[in-house]
Each structure stands twice: as structure tokens, then as C-alpha cells.
Amino acid sequence: DADVTQTPRNRITKTGKRIMLECSQTKGHDRMYWYRQDPGLGLRLIYYSFDVKDINKGEISDGYSVSRQAQAKFSLSLESAIPNQTALYFCATSDIAGTGAVGELFFGEGSRLTVL
Amino acid sequence: EDKVVQSPLSLVVHEGDTVTLNCSYEVTNFRSLLWYKQEKKAPTFLFMLTSSGIEKKSGRLSSILDKKELFSILNITATQTGDSAVYLCAVDRYNNNDMRFGAGTRLTVKP
């Protein structure tokens, strides 16, 4: 089984619908991240969390929200999906001492979201 | 604004060829540069480079960092079709929890 698991793997939805992408990990890492990947733009950070009580916005947080339900679970929500949120979404974890850096990221398999 | 630029964006070679992928960066508070391979979905870690001039190797893959000229290269020798993937370069920065990624180089290795 994968150490970082994302559900659903694929989702097609319509504009205006609420969507939740879920991520769970068995690596025991405190740090969890949500990234979005678009062709030609690389991966961009949406939100990150260092523990259950710590949630931080990334570069492109507008239109998204997150919830860290437990150390192992980090979900991403699109309250009202729009077509330009069509992308491949990755959850990732890292385990690095101290603050102010990321270190090696361990990625989930990705969730492909299509908003019509 | 911090940026990471990879070149070429795509590359097609034949099995047995040697390829060099480039990653240049302009960032503040550089900590390390990482290379990932993305075949179908999840990027998988290849190398982390923190010091200039020290080559890291794993089988046919190797990478080196030049902190003076602000770039890294990823070499793949004797390419195989299984090397076909998108190769991502990313820069980790001190005092910043947002790792900056390049757009990736798509490598296609033909039989």
C-alpha cells in the first residue's frame, strides 16, 4: 500500500459544486502539503500544515480550503468549483527538523480533477 | 521573484543516448536543490544537492550543483525506454515553506 494515499483518483464535476479531496499518510510525518500541477507551470503550493493546529496558505490558496483532521489526514476542499481549477492535485508529506524549509517531499498518486 | 527554470522543456532521444537536463535558479536563501522523476502520477525523489561540485550518482543517473552559476544538471547515460518521464527540479529555501518547482523536462526515449 502507498504511504501517501489520495482519494478520489479521478473526479469530474460541474461548475459550482463542492469538492473534497482527501489525503491520508502512514509515514508518521507531521508536515503535509497540497500542490496543484498544471502543464507548463510545474507544481504550486496551495496549503500546508505542520500539525493539526497549524494551517498555512501557500502561493495559490484562493478558492481552496483545507482541514487537518488528524496527524495522518489532510483534506482539500473546493467550495464552489470553477473550470480553471481543473488540474492534477498532489498531497505530499515531509519530515524535516526545524522550521523554514521543506526537505524531501513524499507524494501521493495524485487526484485528477476536471471541472466542466 | 524566486524562479526555477528547466531546459529543454521536452526532449526525444533513442535508447543508448546520453542526455543532460538543465535547471537554473534565482532564489533567496537557497538551501538545496532536488530532482524528481514523474512517470505517470506521483513524482519520486532522485537527488538532493546542497553543496557545489559534489556529484551524486544512482546507477545511470548523476547530478551536480553549481552554486556560483546557480544551476544544476541531471545526466542520464545509456538511456532506456523506462527513463521516459517528466523530470522535475525544485529548490528548497531557508525560512520558506514553499518549495519552488520548475515546469519540468519531458524526456521521451524511443526504442
Q: What is the pLDDT of residues A71-112, one digit of tens each?
A: 999 999 999 999 999 999 999 999 875 656 777 899 999 999
C-alpha cell at A6: 489520495
Residue of B nearest to A9 (CA): B41
CA dihedral A30, A45, A91, A83 (to 10 degrees): 150
- B28 lies within 8 A of chain A by CB: no
Residues of chain B found within 8 Å of residue A45, distances taken between Cβ atoms? 98-99
Residues of chain A found within 8 Å of residue B25, distances taken between Cβ atoms? none
Which residues of chain B are modeled with pLDDT < 70? none
Cβ-contact A21, A113 below 8 angstroms: yes
Percent of chain A at pLDDT exceeding 70: 95
A28: left (phi over 0), alpha (psi -120 to 50) or beta: left
- A44 lies within 8 A of chain B by CB: yes
- Check residue B50 and give its pLDDT: 92
Q: Closest to A110 (Cβ–Cβ): which among B9, B42, B104?
A: B42
Pairwise CB contact (< 8 Å): A40 & B103 = yes
- A98 lies within 8 A of chain B by CB: no
**Strand, helix or coil for residue A45:** strand
Summarised one tens digit per residue, pLDDT across range A67-82 is 999 999 999 999 999 9
B/e letters for A59-95, b = 16+ CB within 10 Å, e = fewer, are ebbeebebebeeebebbbebeebeeebebbbbbbbbe
- A109 lies within 8 A of chain B by CB: yes
Average pLDDT over all residues of chain A: 92
Give yes or no for residue A1 having a pLDDT over 70.
Answer: no
Cβ-contact B6, B22 below 8 angstroms: yes
